[in-house]
Amino acid sequence: MVLKKIGSLWKKNNNPNLSGLVPDFDELTEIKKYVPYLKGFKFNGASNRAGDFKSSFKGRGMEFEEVRSYTFGDDVRDIDWRVTARKNQPYTKLYAEEKDRVVYVWLDVSADMRFGTKKELKSVTAAKIAALLGWFALSNKDRFGLMVYDGNKTHIFEPKRDYNHLLTILKKIEKIAKETLFVKNESQEKLKSLQLAIKRIGKKAIVFLIGGFDVSDDEKLKHEISALCSVNDVCLINIYDALEYIAPPKGQYLAEYEQKQQLITNSGTAYEQEYETYFLQKRKNIRDFCAKFNCRYREVRSDLSIIEQIRPI
């Protein structure tokens, strides 16, 4: 058995079938049928703030309107402590739904995401989630914008509340993925892309970061994500392949990444335990990071049902 990127195998065999290698426009369009499954959508992430897509982003997706005396049953998280201290009795904040809310997705389809050993590449899974969020935002009458990082540049689609605009975005996702399927990443471009996102997205938006993230030893990456979290409501959706979690069967394998090859040897139980421990530590690092900066967190395995992994729990 030879472990290679699916894209590398396709290139070698010159297989014209791109299924699982690039996101398909028809699939990105048809995924809107799953929008009803997201009604009552909850992000029970690191911050433990719950509620549907609207109320879970209260303070960003909802606009402050007034205060009134606290009554039994009010959410204690909405207590206005300044007014409470001044009046010497508890007051709670009231919110009105924001009329022009912006939902932004930052999508990574770079070489780091062009990896998959089962159903599809991680980049394809990420694109499907981005499309689903686009349809969901549209169903909520929100403006939807997208930034696609392909490894070398960032493609920007300004937020609009428009059906045809979303279709254009989905076509562009497919086109970008096809054109960059075998393009290498440029170093530091991901950081530049996130820096650009901070500038373009601004403040008080609902932001989804979809990609493969490892914050273990990357202080610069953590800085950019935390900066985005400080002024927006952010949900980080981490995509991973089964092989990143579960070691291949005992034996030797040849792994290939961007024309570089490395021999991997599974010597048995000890190796498999170390392999799993490494993944679990990475997972803990990113969960702890998200908890620290009040960032919601979801993780999606690329060979399993997307809906079952991000729908309300």
Residue where a domain stops, chosen among 73, 97, 121: 97
First to last CA, the chain: 38
Residue where a domain stops, chosen among 72, 97, 122: 97
Q: Facing residues of 269 across strands?
A: none
CA dihedral 202, 110, 136, 199 (to 10 degrees): 0
In a shared domain, residues 162 and 300: yes
On the question of pLDDT at 288 being above 90, the answer is: yes
Instruction: Provide, rounded to the nearest whole percent, the portion of the chain with pLDDT above 70.
Output: 81
In a shared domain, residues 140 and 66: no
Say if 125 falls within a structural domain: yes
In a shared domain, residues 189 and 72: no
In a shared domain, residues 230 and 147: yes
Say if 284 falls within a structural domain: yes
Number of neighbours of residue 272 by Cβ within 10 angstroms: 16
**Residue 22 near residue 148, CB atoms below 8 Å:** no
**Residue 253 near residue 226, CB atoms below 8 Å:** no
CATH code at position 34: 3.40.50
Record the pTM. 0.79
In a shared domain, residues 177 and 228: yes
Cα separations in angstroms, 93 against 82, 98, 245, 282: 11, 15, 44, 38
Say if 1 falls within a structural domain: no
Write out the residue range of the structural domain in which residue 181 sits: 6-51+100-310
What is the pLDDT at residue 257?
64
Q: Indicate the number of domains in the chain.
A: 2
Say if 131 falls within a structural domain: yes
Say if 255 falls within a structural domain: yes
Give SS3 for 304.
Answer: coil
d(Cα 44, Cα 53) in Å, to the nearest integer?
Answer: 11
Say if 213 falls within a structural domain: yes
- In degrees rounded to 5, what are phi and psi of residue 67? -120, 155
In a shared domain, residues 85 and 159: no
In a shared domain, residues 67 and 47: no
Cα separations in angstroms, 220 against 121, 197, 201, 212, 216: 26, 15, 19, 16, 11
Mean pLDDT for the stretch of residues 151-175: 96
Say if 56 falls within a structural domain: no
pLDDT tens-digit readout, 90-116: 888 766 555 567 999 999 999 989 988
In a shared domain, residues 79 and 188: no
In a shared domain, residues 73 and 116: no
Q: In one letter, which amino acid is 168?
A: T
Mean pLDDT for all residues in the chain: 83
In a shared domain, residues 77 and 182: no
pLDDT tens-digit readout, 234-276: 999 999 999 999 998 999 888 776 667 778 889 999 999 999 9
d(Cα 162, Cα 164) in Å, to the nearest integer?
Answer: 6
pLDDT tens-digit readout, 209-224: 999 999 888 899 999 9
In a shared domain, residues 180 and 201: yes
In a shared domain, residues 113 and 196: yes
Say if 270 falls within a structural domain: yes
